[in-house]
Amino acid sequence: MIHALRGMKDLIFDDARRYEYIIGTLSRIARNYGFEYIETPILEETRLFKRSVGESSDIVGKEMYQFTDKGGNDVCLRPEGTAGVVRAFVQAKLDRQQGQKYRFFYHGPMFRYERPQKGRLREFHQFGVESFGEKSVEEDFTLIVMLAEIFEALGIRTRVKINSLGCTACMPPYRRRLVGYLEAIAQELCPDCQRRIATNPIRVLDCKNEQCQKLLEEAPKLSQELCEQCDRDFTRLRKLLTEAGIAYEVDTHLVRGLDYYSGAAFEFVSDEIGAQSAVAGGGRYDRLVEFLEGRPTPGVGFAIGIERIMELVRMPQERREGWYLGAMTPEALDRLLPLARRLRRSHRVVVEYAPKGLKAHLKGADKAKARYCAVIGEEELAKEHIWIKDLEAREEKTVPLKELEKLEAQ
């Protein structure tokens, strides 16, 4: 038997239903917040991610599904959605509409060649939003509120962590100070962190190694060294969240695993899903459009990991829906087919093609989760009637076929 690849999963039955429900709910909320749907290719040039997510990040450095296509192009399966949306934004020349705001949402598969474990897949799905052209911290606030609303709508309890990653004015001097601190304790840090001092020192802050975390307690904190503007923005963000009744923790070690962030960064975590607890992450990326050769345009967004929330979602009760049509004779089946076609214009209809007895049809309707079981037998056919049982109300009746055909319009 051929199996799905390691770290990749089929979405079938309950998982598929949950996936569809989540995407439907999130799309509705995204539209309410003024976002519109965008779809970008799953395969992109590798250099798109090198330039945006960053060569020193684990995602680009270790986890890309990268290959040379038949035309000799260096391509890879997208490891995340933001880079592709920003590329599309620049390619559509939207960066030239200065002062305009563009808000997009997307969902689909992402690929990272990670070591699979609970909550960590090689193919997983994200629902994300990206907002362009809005520099105000109110937009950061709105995206956090939106995430809070999303998790509330899905019945999922989360904690919110926020941080500020500064800007081109305050980040470089902070990075230098941090490198100085890290170099002094380098011997005691784990090998990964030792390597990162030179390549990506900020990432050291979020090392999961306990000894490293202990050593980092005394490390300089960016939140205490923000420039005036970043400090004002971060203070305002905290004030807005407090006033909105959204509980948050400031986590000075929250640095995110992608290099394009500046300013506000946030993560939503769940304490009910084990070690891979981040269910959503995002932040501001005011330089990214420039990195991809567009005109400077502020941006902010987030993405939710669908598989991580799948089991937590409180699903609405499943209800019986639509029609099951069955025939007791071959002639009756011929009468059912045109009826099914008409009803399907506005109703869910399942047709059983094999003629059989009433009991068997009722069983079939139950399995098909239909609300109504409608059957034509010899007698009904002769009178142009149809027998209908409402499986919810447990009522049955025989009506003229014409009456059912009229339902099509409702």
Tell me which residues touch ligand HAM (CB under 6 A). Answer: 80-82, 112, 114, 119-121, 124, 126, 128, 130, 257-258, 278-283, 301-303, 305, 307-308
Cβ proximity to ligand HAM: between 274 and 400 the closer is 274
Question: Least distance in Å: CB of 288 to ligand HAM?
Answer: 9
Contact 249, 160 (CB under 8 A): yes
Tokens of 112: 């990272």
Cβ proximity to ligand HAM: between 81 and 377 the closer is 81
Question: Least distance in Å: CB of 28 to ligand HAM?
Answer: 19
Strand ranges in 270-318 using DSSP code E only, listed in sequence order: 278-284, 299-305
Contact 182, 197 (CB under 8 A): yes
- Alpha-carbon torsion (128, 133, 136, 138), positive or negative: negative
Question: Least distance in Å: CB of 111 to ligand HAM?
Answer: 9
Cβ proximity to ligand HAM: between 54 and 377 the closer is 54
Helix or strand (DSSP H, E) at 323: strand 323-327
Question: Least distance in Å: CB of 201 to ligand HAM?
Answer: 19
Cβ proximity to ligand HAM: between 81 and 326 the closer is 81
**346-380 burial, b for 16+ CB within 10 Å, e for fewer?**
ebebbbbeebeeeeebbebbeebebbbbbbbbeeb
Cβ proximity to ligand HAM: between 78 and 385 the closer is 78
| Residue 284 CB-density burial (10 A; 0-12 exposed, 13-18 middle, 19+ buried) | buried
Question: Least distance in Å: CB of 156 to ligand HAM?
Answer: 12
Cβ proximity to ligand HAM: between 120 and 238 the closer is 120
What's the CA dihedral at 17, 23, 27, 28 to 10 degrees?
Answer: 30
Cβ proximity to ligand HAM: between 121 and 171 the closer is 121
Report how far residue 158's alpha carbon sits from residue 148's, in angstroms, rounded to the nearest whole number. Answer: 8
Question: Least distance in Å: CB of 308 to ligand HAM?
Answer: 4
Report how far residue 323's alpha carbon sits from residue 17's, in angstroms, rounded to the nearest whole number. Answer: 20
Largest CA distance in the chain: 94
Cβ proximity to ligand HAM: between 129 and 212 the closer is 129
Question: Least distance in Å: CB of 307 to ligand HAM?
Answer: 5
Query: Nearest residue to ligand HAM, using CB?
Result: 305
Alpha-helix runs per DSSP H in 164-314: 171-185, 191-199, 201-204, 210-215, 228-243, 288-291, 306-310
Question: Least distance in Å: CB of 261 to ligand HAM?
Answer: 7
Contact 201, 207 (CB under 8 A): no
Tokens of 192: 């990964």
Give the single-character DSSP code of 407. G
